[in-house]
Structure 1
């Protein structure tokens, strides 16, 4: 991450810190969020998330509504029953 230095009068910074504290955040986090929004970073992240969700919905992979197999089911398969004993 890069550091950024800005010049703001003391009263503005004081009031901003108080308000940020009341909102459970920091002036640094507020400015970072503003710059991300202003530069389009947040929009790009939202778009990437939307595309990922769309890909997952259109994917042919899945359990077909059956859910994940239980541990016992995984180990009770022919490939597991016929394997040699001992460490791999």
Structure 2
């Protein structure tokens, strides 16, 4: 693990200290977990984007008309 120095506004630092105490953890651990979660989300987004970019399916009709917006939103509704 590496140590880093960050610069934050006083009010942000105060909030972060209170939030870390509320979570019963250290400020360092809370920030580390926050950054790890950001990394996981970014990686998941990038994977999903690449899968979408590489999807070679075509979305063409076989000649039948596409359903209307109203028909799509009526599915599954309780009547």
TM-score after normalising by structure 2: 0.43
**Structure with greater contact order relative to length (CA < 8 Å, sep ≥ 6):** 2
Greater CA radius of gyration, 1 or 2? Answer: 1
TM-score, length of structure 1 as denominator length: 0.40
